[in-house]
Structure 1
């Protein structure tokens, strides 16, 4: 039977969800809300949605399922509004917020009295790109898609959602909202605080030591990439998960103090074990697997500074989808630079590595 899906928020996440839903359910009617006209127009032109509006309440009553893909505070405001609207019987409501406890508490407060069906969701995928123009049908491929059931969640919620979202090719997992916020505070929220802190520190340091800006490449660049994330979103995330993030900050301070003490006492063995433990812990984690935010696959190619070198590599990769391309040549005193190419999945990465190794003499490294 044809269903109507209403997606509030036609940014990267909402628009990519729509494409994934269409892949396995081409007959479903997809409606969209977006405050800004640009993403509404793009979503309509590209066929991401069938109809679009800038009035959230306009399509709410027609939906069998409602996705709230908007900032966290707006998600909470929309939950309150949904409790006042005339909705279709059996409608299922979910969201895409990066923190869950505040959203779940709002659902339990406003939707349970109305006997409305709600489950929290968090698709752990993203990109440096934004808006409907960046919509990607493969954005969630092999990424964790988290469900956080609560008192407002009925038994049919997860089966209905996993069927609807089968075209995302995601990995579905169920977790308590509080535990979700604990875990993501460590692996997502606190790292953004750390990345921005490093950038702010480097910016201040560069005032007296301007070469800091020239030498800020390699590891520093990789560690601070996420500092370019949209500040409004991350302000909202921190404000809705303050306790867990504060705990992570305090614990991290203690670890820095331990390193400082080892330096003061010239504890060479302790410092060695500090780095060794970090190295071993990273090897044991799923960092190299497609399972989290911005978890792409990178290939690093040592290429000579010769005319048409990059074109030669790209010609070999014709037909393979490339997410990003970067030339890392800062701080190098030799004749080679490093060409970094990012792929969406492991298969494309391995195919690209094989082609380059077979048809060039360039050194290839995988991440």
Structure 2
């Protein structure tokens, strides 16, 4: 397609990771970057994520063939308004990476539509509690859904241009109505963050009178509250641009809590068993286990003895294989072996690791 100029507005985790993915399949493209903070601009330049960087949003806009807005939602909307006033290329394509879509698409219709500027909403459904260009990951979007949301002014070439640009992300591209996107993500993304923070705040206050709460908060509690470490400003912005679906999810969940509360109060053993069994069966049927959801991770569980240097031994065997996370699943009994959980970003790394561990050790492993 020849050399293109890509302008990535926001060089945080998402923007910088997008730059790496674009570089992988399009090394000849020129990538320009905007970031308000100097640190991420410097890192992006030093690491070669971008060819040029600025803290002046308008400075590079007229040079871009594609503009990607990877900034908080309110800032995205403000930049959409500003773009309508700038001298852009005739066939420029504008997209975003926001976690809510209806408000952004409406703003694009309002500001870019009258100017005839091609826009399509975007949401790469992957992320981390880590922030900044320093956290950039070329495999961040691998196997994750990348959702496109059209507006009435989106031109026919928009999706083809972006799927080509983002081919190096190794993501799964899907088109969805903006309103439906916000409803679905309110259930599987936005409301769970409210629930996780509520659990964490409840536990923190409970620990004031019951200090061992802090000691025993491992296992399931840790997994359920991991996402609490995400940036508060981002999640405040998400809720403020998708309030009605989230309020609906909260109200519906409150009725579910009341239901299980009534079952417990009446000591209805059979109904409580059905409650847990339905949850278990529903989770097994969801795409969580098909590695194409929000967090497309691949886990291996290794049963290890309580011996010195066992973990170091395993990590040494995995030298050269990219590891996303390492966790020791602690047991309450000292006579039970521990479980070392290692997370990989793709199936190839998982398979390599499993082969090495099976060949070099006698430790039982389970792949999930």
TM-score, structure 2 as length reference: 0.97
Once the two structures are TM-superposed, the CA of residue 334 in structure 1 deviates from its matched residue by 2.6
**Aligned pairs, number:** 367
* Structure 1 counterpart of 2:353: 352
Tell me, yes or no, if the aligned pair for 1:124 and 1:291 is still in contact at 8 Å. no
Would you say 1:266 and 2:267 are equivalent positions? yes
Would you say 1:118 and 2:127 are equivalent positions? no
Once the two structures are TM-superposed, the CA of residue 88 in structure 1 deviates from its matched residue by 0.8
Q: Secondary structure at the match of 1:61?
A: helix
Q: Deviations over 1:263-286 (max 9, x none)?
A: 111111111111111111100111
RMSD, aligned CA: 1.3
Q: Distance in 1 between matches of 2:293 and 2:85?
A: 35
Q: Deviations over 1:90-143 (max 9, x none)?
A: 100000000000000100111111111000000011123221111111111111
Relative distance call for 1:357 and 1:248 in structure 2 (3 A) is: same
Would you say 1:145 and 2:156 are equivalent positions? no
Tell me, yes or no, if the aligned pair for 1:97 and 1:121 is still in contact at 8 Å. yes
Tell me, yes or no, if the aligned pair for 1:304 and 1:337 is still in contact at 8 Å. yes
Q: Deviations over 1:240-264 (max 9, x none)?
A: 1000000000000111111011111
Tell me, yes or no, if the aligned pair for 2:128 and 2:230 is still in contact at 8 Å. no
Where do 5+ consecutive residues of structure 2 fail to align?
none
Q: Distance in 1 between matches of 2:249 and 2:332?
A: 33
Would you say 1:102 and 2:103 are equivalent positions? yes
Where do 5+ consecutive residues of structure 1 fail to align?
none
Once the two structures are TM-superposed, the CA of residue 347 in structure 1 deviates from its matched residue by 2.4
* Structure 2 counterpart of 1:191: 192
Tell me, yes or no, if the aligned pair for 2:322 and 2:349 is still in contact at 8 Å. yes
Q: Distance in 2 between matches of 1:71 and 1:331?
A: 42
Q: Distance in 1 between matches of 2:281 and 2:267?
A: 23
* Structure 2 counterpart of 1:28: 29
Q: Distance in 1 between matches of 2:290 and 2:35?
A: 33
Tell me, yes or no, if the aligned pair for 1:217 and 1:331 is still in contact at 8 Å. no
Misfit runs of 4+, over 6 Å: none
TM-score, structure 1 as length reference: 0.97
Once the two structures are TM-superposed, the CA of residue 335 in structure 1 deviates from its matched residue by 5.3
Q: Distance in 1 between matches of 2:236 and 2:6?
A: 29
Q: Distance in 2 between matches of 1:28 and 1:357?
A: 43
Q: Secondary structure at the match of 1:119?
A: strand
